[in-house]
DNA sequence: GTCTATAAATAGATAGAC
DNA sequence: GTCTATCTATTTATAGAC
């Protein structure tokens, strides 16, 4: 097998094992066996186990760089379509986690081990979501469309619903014994709860026909 | 030092190290050094490393058995005081995590490693919260006090806010760079968001407050 | 109870043949 | 590129003296 090809294969096997048992919990021998090669081959492609780990992180991080969570809803933000903003973000996150559960586990392992990936992810991804979503909420508060709660609290509440749901599905309750629901439905329900919870609205008929932004005139209700 | 005493001391040291670096990431030598004894002493009190781990889990699980999260709000449930129910649960969980962050980390490690503790905790604790809180919500829906959303979804949303907040504070953002808020305030804010989001009460306009119980939620949002 | 010394197994990593 | 064989350090665990 060609160099680059084999390298990638070993890398993928390592991703799987590291995500299952953590960095320290996985031996280079296990990786070699799972990849169907000798240990020497592993060390031919990656000088040390640490280097292998780093390569994985780079690999994963690069993949996730290309998908910008904020870009997914940029247009909804411009339109000030609250439901589309939150539902879009939630659905994107849930789908992401579903199609790459390994990454979520890898991230948790690295957070527990205080490895660089955790901090990198935090800096490049989480902070960004808080900044941009926080700014959006602040704007909507100025519009009189949302009640005066510290925006970070709202972000945390919403991110909490979504991430915790993923964590449940991927880590604790893979059989979905407690809650079986599609990602679409979950994104919609969480968004409904949050928006009912934080938007100013006088009518109780349904929930979404409220200020779409451009012409909201209500000033600070409380 | 007497037998039982030393045993407990080693156990406590091990709890700290395991929660920091996981089971496989901690060596018996490190434990011995941290406890100020020789490795032989560790193996005198615990035949194997596995046995030490199990002893920790028993120790912790037993501690947490005594504090029933549901009992904390039993009286609020009887009174149908929605705000007290949710705020009480949230505050209890947040304080619990704050005063024993090790347990939270230990739990995560064991969930990732698929160790028994994780499943035990899930069965004895999480399921219970879902069952009881779900039943309460269902009752409140029959009362006409809450909108018709699958109760499990509401539970997941709320538990998500709270647990994710703890996870952030204990694992990712110990410096609280993104959100600095007291447990009391957090419990109150999350409850406000959720209850605004799921209750049928007509708020502003001083219209009817159709909720049945003596719902004494205060309307302060800074 | 506590230690030092050490056994036995496993880990990461390298050498060198093919 | 790939393997077998091997080295070295570490890790779990034990023996036996005090």
CA B170 from centroid of its chain's CA atoms: 12
Q: Which of B126, B132, B161 to mutate to test the interface with A (most CBs of A within 10 A)?
A: B161
Is residue A70 scored above 90 in pLDDT? Answer: no
pLDDT at B78: 97
Q: Is the CB of B5 under 7 A from strand C?
A: no
B118 neighbourhood in chain A, CB within 8 Å: 172
Confidence of residue B210 (pLDDT cuts 50, 70, 90): very low
For B13-63, give the DSSP string: HHHHHHHHH-STT--HHHHHHHHTS-HHHHHHHSSSHHHHHHHHHHHHHHH
Residues B167 and B164: their CA atoms lie apart, in Å, by 5
Plot region of A26 (φ>0 → left; ψ -120 to 50 → alpha; else → beta): beta
Q: Mean pLDDT over residues A61-72, rounded?
A: 79
Q: Are A204 and B205 an interchain contact pair (Cβ–Cβ within 8 Å)?
A: no
Instruction: Tell me how many helices (H) and strands (E) chain A has.
Output: 12, 0
For the four alpha carbons of A187, A189, A190 and A193, in that order, the dihedral sign comes to positive
Contact criterion met (CB below 8 Å) for B107 and A155:
no
Nucleotide nearest to A43 (CA to C1'): C13
**Which bases of chain C come closer than 7 Å to a protein CB?**
1-6, 10-16
pLDDT at B207: 40
A219 burial class (0-12, 13-18, 19+ CB within 10 angstroms)?
exposed
- Residue in A closest to B107 by C-alpha: A172
Nucleotide nearest to A36 (CA to C1'): D2
Q: Which of B93, B104, B156, B169 to mutate to test the interface with A (most CBs of A within 10 A)?
A: B156
* Whole-Å CA distances, A73 to A56, A87, A131, A209, B126: 28, 9, 14, 19, 33
Residues B111 and B106: their CA atoms lie apart, in Å, by 9
| B134 to chain A, closest Cα gap in Å | 10
Alpha-carbon Rg of chain B, whole angstroms?
Answer: 21
B30 closest CA partner among A28, A24, A26, A29? A24
Q: Mean pLDDT over residues B29-57, rounded?
A: 96
Confidence of residue B202 (pLDDT cuts 50, 70, 90): low
Confidence of residue A214 (pLDDT cuts 50, 70, 90): very low
List pLDDT tens digits, range B82-116. Answer: 999 999 999 999 999 999 999 999 999 989 988 87
pLDDT at A150: 98
Is residue A112 scored above 80 in pLDDT? Answer: yes
Contact criterion met (CB below 8 Å) for A154 and A130:
no
Contact criterion met (CB below 8 Å) for B179 and A156:
yes
For the four alpha carbons of A18, A24, A28 and A34, in that order, the dihedral sign comes to negative
Q: Mean pLDDT over residues A56-63, rounded?
A: 83
pLDDT at B203: 54
List pLDDT tens digits, range B148-200. Answer: 999 999 999 999 999 999 999 999 999 999 999 999 999 999 999 999 999 99
Residues B118 and A172: their CA atoms lie apart, in Å, by 8
| B25 to chain A, closest Cα gap in Å | 6
Is residue A139 scored above 80 in pLDDT? Answer: yes
Quick one: CA torsion of B69, A182, A64, B162, rounded to 10 degrees? Answer: -20
Q: Are B186 and A153 an interchain contact pair (Cβ–Cβ within 8 Å)?
A: yes
């Amino acid at each position: 097998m060609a160099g680059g090809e084999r390298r990638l294969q070993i890398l993928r096997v390592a991703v799987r094992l590291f995500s299952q048992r953590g960095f320290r919990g996985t031996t280079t021998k296990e990786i070699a066996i799972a990849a169907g090669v000798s240990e020497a081959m592993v060390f031919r492609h990656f000088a040390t186990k640490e280097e292998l780990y780093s390569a994985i992180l780079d690999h994963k991080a690069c993949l996730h760089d290309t998908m910008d969570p904020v870009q997914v809803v940029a247009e909804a933000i411009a339109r000030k379509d609250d439901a589309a903003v939150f539902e879009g973000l939630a659905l994107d996150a849930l789908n992401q986690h579903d199609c790459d559960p390994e990454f979520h586990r890898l991230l948790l392992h690295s957070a527990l081990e205080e490895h660089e990936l955790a901090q990198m992810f935090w800096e490049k991804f989480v902070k960004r979501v808080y900044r941009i979503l926080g700014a959006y909420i602040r704007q909507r508060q100025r519009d009189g469309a949302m009640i005066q709660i510290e925006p970070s609290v709202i972000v945390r509440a919403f991110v909490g619903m979504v991430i915790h749901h993923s964590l449940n599905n991927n880590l604790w309750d893979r059989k979905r014994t407690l809650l079986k629901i599609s990602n679409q439905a979950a994104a919609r329900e969480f968004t409904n709860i949050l928006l009912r919870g934080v938007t100013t609205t006088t009518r109780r008929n349904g929930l979404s026909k409220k200020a779409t932004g451009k012409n909201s005139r209500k000033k600070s209700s409380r």
